[in-house]
Structure 1
Amino acid sequence: MTETTVSTTELRREFLAFKLGREEYGIDILKVQELRGHEPCTVIAGSPEYMKGVINLRGIIVPIIDLRIRFYLGDATYDQFTVVIILLVHGRTLGMVVDGVSDVIGLTKQQIKPAPEIGSAINTDYLIGMGTVEERMLILMDIDRLMSSAELGLVERLAA
């Protein structure tokens, strides 16, 4: 077996790779229900800036958040590459606006490195680690933790 061949018994996790600014992120593909183009949302008064509003998705009211705004990555520009990733998080359907989606990447355990320790100033509990494929590096996120984190609290707020 060559170094580039992966044993069929070696476990691979698949991640949907997406862009926010210049960085590439990944979330577990099993959390993704569908990908949609960006569309206007119904704005909810008094919601945080990153909460773009809600859409009606086949009879289900789906909250939409913009991760670029949430992560303080500058102003969001919506164009033909902007994608809304529809997710199932803790039994709830949510939408996440990203700058673009690239592909699905399978990573072995050896390709996932621990997340860097940044200190207590920034909450990184939602980071799984850093995925590396050749020269590419993905910031791997646990979307369940992110959406239910104290900063977002989106899942708890929806359950109330």
Structure 2
Amino acid sequence: MIDNIRENNAFEADATRDEDTMENKFLTFHLGQEDYGIEIRHVTEIIGVQKITDVPDMPDYIKGVINLRGKVIPVMDVRARFKLPPRAYDDRTCIIVVQYNGTAVGLVVDEVSEVANIARDQIEPPPRTSRGKSSRFFSGMGKMGDEVKILLDVERLLYDEERLSAGLVDQA
């Protein structure tokens, strides 16, 4: 019994340490001319584009599903989600597999850049604007030297329509 408690405490300490090492870390990527970031704690892996099976009656930004090591996961084209012009997939196009609330989703992006450390005091709230509904997906603006990375809110990116229909999101 005591050994189990020790093992559990060691596991919890490791999990806390792992969580601490992920704090302020963002996987950055390009979409068009802009740089975006997503909290690294949500990222499980990055893969190349593979065959995407089309699924009827899905929103236009859901490209379909892929079979990832025996697990079927939906794939979202982030360009389409942001209503950016389409672009042919090439050898730099990647799928970022994220996990949120026990659900895995692949996010198609133009190109993955790096894992960046952005301190909390270098993150500002996103600008308030009624134009461009894409801004509702932003959690903040991360300053890195002369550059700004648009930081995404994974929950809103994945579930915003459900939140809208449930009345949980301001539609402005």
The answer to whether the Cα contact below 8 Å between 1:43 and 1:54 also exists between their aligned partners in 2 is yes
Which amino acid in 2 is paired with 1:108? A
Determine whether 1:89 maps to 2:100: yes
Match in the other structure for 2:68: 57
Which one scores higher on RCO, CA 8 angstroms, separation ≥ 6?
1
Greater fraction of residues in strand: 1
1:152/1:80 CA distance change after superposition, 3 Å: farther
In the aligned structure 2, how far is the partner of 1:18 from the partner of 1:152?
26
Return the offset for 1:34.
0.3
Match in the other structure for 2:6: none
TM-score (normalised: structure 1): 0.82
The answer to whether the Cα contact below 8 Å between 1:128 and 1:140 also exists between their aligned partners in 2 is yes
In the aligned structure 1, how far is the partner of 2:56 from the partner of 2:132?
30
Determine which of 138, 142, 149 is the counterpart of 1:138.
149
In the aligned structure 2, how far is the partner of 1:145 from the partner of 1:50?
14
In structure 1, the gaps of 5 or more residues are 1-10, 154-160
In the aligned structure 2, how far is the partner of 1:49 from the partner of 1:140?
23
Match in the other structure for 1:8: none
Larger radius of gyration: 2
The answer to whether the Cα contact below 8 Å between 2:24 and 2:119 also exists between their aligned partners in 1 is yes
TM-score (normalised: structure 2): 0.77
Q: Secondary structure at the match of 1:95?
A: strand
In structure 2, the gaps of 5 or more residues are 1-21, 165-172
Q: Secondary structure at the match of 1:119?
A: coil
1:130/1:44 CA distance change after superposition, 3 Å: same
Give the total of aligned pairs: 143
Q: Where does 1:8-87 land on structure 2 (aligned, <5 Å)? A: 13-87=24-98
Determine which of 106, 122, 131 is the counterpart of 1:111.
122
The answer to whether the Cα contact below 8 Å between 1:13 and 1:28 also exists between their aligned partners in 2 is yes
Which amino acid in 1 is paired with 2:86? D
Which amino acid in 2 is paired with 1:84? I
